[in-house]
Amino acid sequence: MKHKLIAALLTFTLLCTVLVPIAGASGVAQPLTWPKTQAMPSFPAPAETLDAINMNGMPYGERATIAVLQGLVNREQPRIITMGGYQEEPLELWPQTLNLQYSFVDDWKALVLKYRSAFKGLMVYNPDVHDTLNLATTAAGLNDCLAASPELAAILSAAPYNLSVVTDFNTLPITNRLEAYEYLYQNYWPQCNKRLLFGLSNTEHMPLRDLAAAVGGAVLWLDPVYAEEEAMLTRFFNDLETGASYAGWWAQEGDGIGYSTRAGVPTIPADHFMNYSVYSGMTRKVNPPAVPAKPALQDGKIYVSLNYSDGDNIQYIEHALRRSSLWESPDRGKVPIGWTFSPMLLDAAPQMMEYFCQTATPNDVLVAGPSGAGYATVGDWRSLGALKAYTDRTNDYFEQTNINVITTWGWMFEPFAEVYARAIPSLIGMTMQERYFQRLFVTTNHVPVVWFGNDQPGGAGLTYEWGTEKTKTQLSQIADAGIERTQFYAAQFLSWETPVTQIADMVDELNAAYPGRFEFVRTDHFMMLLNESQGRPFGASLQKPVSASSSAANAPAQNAADGSFSTGWQAGEAGESWLQIDLGEAHCLERYVLENASSNGLDAALNTRAWQIQTSENGVDGWQTIDSKKGNADGVVYRSLPKVQARHVRILVTDPGADGIARIQDLEIFAAPVSAQKSIADRLEGIPAKLTQLLWNVQYLIEFLKNLLGSLLGG
């Protein structure tokens, strides 16, 4: 048996060895995997052993050449990896974490010879007109060429490389930025990829050019602050496909993100992201950890959610998040922290994301932002259709990563929050980074939107700061005010400037000064507790006791209520089966989310086909059917429930799917404890709040129209 296996492996290895050079020689590149549901493509699986280049100390021009070389070689099969530590990042941090095999080459130019058939020539940029580097990168990607400086071109055009110069941009009358991109627009843009546009500085951002070259993307560096550059940029943006993204970065964050959002295109911050063309080829699947049980709601507590900013940038996740002051801090896990995180890492480096899933403590939760899948500023959307497309995409990523909270930037506005809440049925809460609204509001399907700002009655936010001083002062003042009702506050910290230890120390100091007054909670728990305290539904089934008609040995019933699709229940016997959850007390039911086999990457034929949702007072008998579904094929199912009251809820699986064995990855029931439903007095108190909300909306609308008018008039 063992011999047969070895023989099979040998045959397979031989086949691979033979097939790869043939594919290379024929020049037929394997297509990248890029379904419409992905913002960015997946490369093929990396080769067993990669050629590694140490980029430390390398001049920026050569870095660009190497990135293009890497992209052209790797789009057929990832065979080249680059390494260059940023700041305190160890050189081989990720390649070692991800168990990649590689061997360093002494001179990267040896790889030009090794993969010589992948290149048709050289595109030579003009070092005196920086933007010709982007022009040459774009031209190189479209024509299977390397982008090179004149100096490097002199070497690569001679023996033994013998790469001919296809276009020398030094010989063309291109003297400035606008002329460079005008030339790009006229000569290359028609052939360029229209799903991804790149924004990379010609003097700072070299690495992401592997992806740009591999997909034939246009690389720009235009700042919409300047009218002429904005006009040029708009010509490119106007031609993009629906659902396109802008990857890289902007000369000025606020202006750039605002511009791209108004154009309906989210930005994927990725300016120094290295090895997209390697990491994206690894298994595109993450296994989010189970969500711990929510602390019980206690009257009069001050609930606080503490969050980090900046995880929207995948280069930050790659190069900075694992600093000893942040994710690798010995103090991580001592207090609950929400880590903003780009869901787009699922495209760029799924196994990097998996690392964070696997090393998260029960006190770490990933939060998307800003303001969903890709960076956008909410108030800048100029079309609900574009916002709808963005939130639909965000939902696709949430279903694959278990993220269910968003930090939003820009002016949040009720109709926009409604679009989010409807497009993303698993969304349980949002924060807004908006100084005009000093309050909290709730969407019609009960998603709370919490402000990072000053204290307001009914719960609001704290601040966004470098360090923790202001937050500590504000929280002390809140405790000193002696208000007896339950309160909720959320804060955000600039991750580059605020070590985990500083946050943990702040929590210790506050707990020592005000014993039992505060409860610091995970961001997802915060949203659940906030809803619970106000009698609104939340994911009440999380970690509640589960039982089942039968269970397979390694797939117990409790797996179906741990908040993660990566663990599941499987019936021990074929045929009709049931799984039931004890909510602990009577709840008023609202809706449920059912995650079937394919939500965890299993064959969709194994998804539950038909079921009934039933309720019972005692959990033993008297089961009443309140919802039933037949003919399902979906991995994730969202359904409303009639507003009935029940303590015990079960799913009776009547048609389990292809092999007759019931499988449920997770069943989340949104409900509010009957005991926590708001009293009539509280409801009456809510009326003035509604009026205030209306006034805010009118004020917002005026600001929004002023803004819109301003942008239409070009001012």
The interface mask with Ca ion, positions 640-679, x = CB under 5 A, is: --------------------------x-------------
Nearer to Ca ion by C-beta: 82 or 567?
567
Tokens 């605002």 correspond to what residue?
258
Torsion sign over Cα 330, 333, 334, 339: positive
Closer residue to Ca ion (CB): 62 or 562:
562
Would you call 669 exposed, middle or buried from its count of C-beta atoms within 10 A (0-12, 13-18, 19+)? buried
Q: Which is nearer to Ca ion, 391 or 665 (CB)?
A: 665
Angstrom CA distances, 306 to 292, 368, 507, 522, 561, stand at 17, 14, 10, 8, 25
Between 250 and 565, name the residue whose CB sits nearer to Ca ion.
565
CA 688 to chain CA mean position, Å: 37
- Nearest approach in angstroms of CB 607 to Ca ion is 15
Identified binder of Ca ion from the candidate list 76, 144, 271, 562, rule CB under 5 A: 562
Query: In the complex with Ca ion, which residue's Cβ is closer, 77 or 567?
Result: 567
- H or E segment at 249? none
Give the chain's largest Cα–Cα span: 87
Cβ neighbour number for residue 329 with a 10 Å cutoff = 18
Q: Is 559 in the site for Ca ion (CB under 5 A)?
A: yes
Least spacing, CB of residue 564 vs Ca ion, in Å: 5
Establish if 598 lies at the interface with Ca ion (CB under 5 A). no
Which one-letter amino acid corresponds to residue 125?
Y
Contacts (CB under 5 A) with Ca ion, residues 102-141: none
How far is it, in rounded angstroms, from Cα 259 to Cα 530?
A: 34
Kindly state the smallest distance separating residue 293's Cβ from Ca ion, in Å: 14
Q: Is 564 in the site for Ca ion (CB under 5 A)?
A: yes
In the bound state with Ca ion, the residue whose beta carbon lies nearer, of 51 and 666, is: 666
| CB atoms inside a 10 Å sphere around CB 574 | 12
Closer residue to Ca ion (CB): 180 or 557 = 557
Instruction: Indicate the residue among 395 and 596 with the shorter CB distance to Ca ion.
Output: 596
533 binds Ca ion (CB under 5 A): no
Interacting span for Ca ion (CB under 5 A) from 437-445, 491-499, 565-573, 627-635: 565-573
Amino acid in the structure at residue 626: I
Q: Name the one range near Ca ion by CB under 5 A: 82-90, 395-403, 555-563, 702-710.
A: 555-563
> How far, in Å, CA of 588 to CA of 536, rounded?
9
Region near Ca ion per CB under 5 A, out of 14-22, 102-110, 492-500, 562-570:
562-570
Measured from the CB of residue 558, what is the shortest distance to Ca ion in angstroms?
9
Q: Rounded to the nearest whole angstrom, what is the least distance from the CB of residue 82 to Ca ion in the complex?
A: 38
Query: Closest approach of Cβ 621 to Ca ion, in Å?
Result: 27
Smallest distance from Ca ion to CB 669, Å: 13
> 631 and 621 in contact (C-beta within 8 Å)?
no
Q: What is the 3-state secondary structure (H, E, C) of 323-384?
A: CCCCCCCCCCCCCCEEEEECCCHHHHCHHHHHHHHHHCCCCEEEEECCCCCCECEHHHCCCH
Contact by Cβ (8 Å): 540, 319: no
**Residue 168 near residue 126, CB atoms below 8 Å:** no
CB nearer to Ca ion: pick between 74 and 564: 564
- The residue count of the chain comes to 715
Smallest gap from Cβ 340 to Ca ion, in A, equals: 24
Applying CB under 5 A, the span of 20-28, 215-223, 553-561, 583-591 interacting with Ca ion comes to 553-561
Question: Quick one: which segment of 137-145, 280-288, 537-545, 559-567 binds Ca ion (CB under 5 A)?
Answer: 559-567
Tokens at residue 20, please? 């790869």
| CA–CA distance, 529 with 246 (Å, rounded to integer) | 37
Q: How far is the CB of 593 from Ca ion (least distance, A)?
A: 11
Q: How big is the site for Ca ion, counted in residues (CB under 5 A)? A: 5
Provide the minimum distance between the beta carbon of 559 and Ca ion in the complex, in angstroms, as a whole number.
5
The binder of Ca ion chosen from 495, 567, 577, 580 (CB under 5 A): 567
Give the C-alpha distances (Å, rounded to integers) separating 420 from 120, 393, 426, 427, 640: 47, 11, 10, 8, 17
User: Which spans of this chain sit near Ca ion (rule: CB under 5 A)?
Assistant: 559, 562, 564, 567, 666
